[in-house]
Amino acid sequence: MGADPVPGDVTAAVASPTSRSGVRAAYRRVVHGVTLADDAEVVYERERMALNRRNIRVVTLATLALHAISVVVYARQAADWTDVPRSFHATVAWVHLLALPLVTTLAALVSWVEPRRWPPGWRAWATDLYAFAYLMIGAALSINAQRLNGNVNVYTIASLAGAIALRQRTTAVILGQAAGVTAMVIGVLQVQHATPLRMAALAPVLAVAVLTIVLARASVAAMRAEIAARLTIERQRAELATNHDALERLNGDLERRVQAQVAEIVARAGEIDRLNHHLRTQVIDRSRQLAHALKALGKGEALPLAPGVTLDGRVEIREQIGVGAMGEVYRGADRILARDVAVKVLRADSGVSTDLWVRFAAEAEAAAAIHHPAVVPTLHVGIADDGRLYQLQELADGVPLSRLLEDGGPWAPGAAARVGAGLAEALAAAHAAGIVHRDVKP
């Protein structure tokens, strides 16, 4: 069946439909409405019997007086009345007289007597017998009433009162109602000879039986549900009390962590303010450098850089390796990276304009965003002391395409296709990065 039931908690019975335990669990759900764990079942039985004992004491004290008065009154009427059959009053008196010792004995067994050697559960059976005894008393009085008015009021009151006042086992209620209906049917058929009056008397009996069973089950299910909820709350309260210290430690740790995070946020806010101030200073300085560069380029001449010249205190020019429309390309030694790099310098005579600066920076940014073996990566972009804008790229040693064509002649289609495929892959990588070259040529 799985794990042991949780103390005080409601457990759902899970079993094979063909297993005995599964059938028993299904029966309990139908009969009781709520399935309880074993310890909760013990609590339910204890509280059920305590409630029944209190109610039986109250009911018995009231009904014993009623029985005694009824014996005296109906015994006298049996002797004095002449227009009513003497046996009617005599029967009522005898029923009440027999009820006195029977009810007293059952009430004493349930509420006052504490025998030590009786088997377990005897008090529950005594409670069911108490309710059944009053059901039979009501049946006897209602059968006797068929001689005069044909009503079943006493039986109805006895049946419903037992379902409301007592928390009976549903099985006992069903058996008791079956016996009560059987007794009423036999008695009414024996005493009442008119068929319409028989039907008028027995129809309410069946309705009362169904209503009594429903009320008895509802009262039991409500009590079991209340106990299950209460025990669950008590168990959870006990767990919370047991874990109180752990919760206190957890709350303290959480409070310390929150305070630490708040302090960190405040510290970072101050750091961000300092960084913003530093950034504003750098932006102002960079703007001044750009203005100086534009001014220097405007006055400069289109002279190539001589070997040995150092740009920005970082890269030393070795030799010129190429000239383009916007700038010149040199081999240089990067002192930071400790290796040779390609240095692309914006030419002074290429036209001094902000658009040209933006284009040069955009090309450097685009090259840095593309990752492909056929694309030369950008390493650094800066401004030299004389205002020249330069870009450092990885140096790819090799032979220019023009020299290859001059020395070896035209390529074979396969070789040209392989080189073209590499170039196409590089363009595809650029397109994937959102960059369009717009100047592809052989």
For residue 366, is pLDDT > 50? yes
Supply the pLDDT for residue 18.
47
For residue 243, is pLDDT > 70? yes
Q: Which amino acid is at 180?
A: G
Supply the pLDDT for residue 256.
86
Kindly list the distances between the CA atom of residue 380 and the CA atoms of 310, 346, 356, 375, in Å, as whole numbers in the listed order.
15, 14, 18, 15
Topology of the domain covering 310-432: Phosphorylase Kinase; domain 1 (3.30.200)
pLDDT tens-digit series, residues 383-442:
777 777 888 888 888 777 777 777 777 878 877 777 877 788 878 877 877 777 767 766
| Of 439, 442, 347, nearest in space to 391 by CA | 347
Kindly list the distances between the CA atom of residue 245 and the CA atoms of 235, 257, 431, in Å, as whole numbers in the listed order.
17, 18, 62
Supply the pLDDT for residue 258.
86
- In whole angstroms, what is the distance from residue 64 CA to residue 66 CA? 5
- Edge-to-edge strand ranges of the sheet holding 389-394: 310-311, 315-323, 327-334, 339-346, 389-394, 378-383
What count of other Cβ atoms lies within 10 Å of the Cβ of residue 409?
8
What does pLDDT average to over the chain? 78
| Residue 350 phi, psi (nearest 5) | -85, 0
For residue 83, is pLDDT > 70? no
What tokens appear for 365 in the block? 């940014």
| Of 275, 428, 286, nearest in space to 361 by CA | 286
Q: Do the Cβ atoms of 35 and 12 come closer than 8 Å?
A: yes
Supply the pLDDT for residue 17.
46
Q: What residue ranges of the chain are covered by domains with CATH 3.30.200.20?
A: 310-432
For residue 179, is pLDDT > 90? yes
Mean pLDDT for the stretch of residues 79-97: 76
Spatial CB neighbours of 43, under 8 Å, sequence gap ≥ 6:
8, 227, 231
What tokens appear for 415 in the block? 């070789």
Model confidence band, residue 160 (pLDDT cutoffs 50, 70, 90): very high
For residue 145, is pLDDT > 60? yes
Supply the pLDDT for residue 212.
92
Supply the pLDDT for residue 7.
41
Spatial CB neighbours of 419, under 8 Å, sequence gap ≥ 6:
411
The per-residue DSSP string of 57-92 comes to HHHHHHHHHHHHHHHHHHHHHHHH-SSS-HHHHHHH
Q: Do the Cβ atoms of 419 and 403 come closer than 8 Å?
A: no
| Through-space distance between the first and last CA atoms of the chain, rounded to whole angstroms | 81
Range with the poorest average pLDDT among 120-134, 135-149, 237-251: 237-251
Supply the pLDDT for residue 10.
41
Pairing of strands 378-383, 327-334: unpaired
- In whole angstroms, what is the distance from residue 35 CA to residue 10 CA? 6
Spatial CB neighbours of 242, under 8 Å, sequence gap ≥ 6:
none
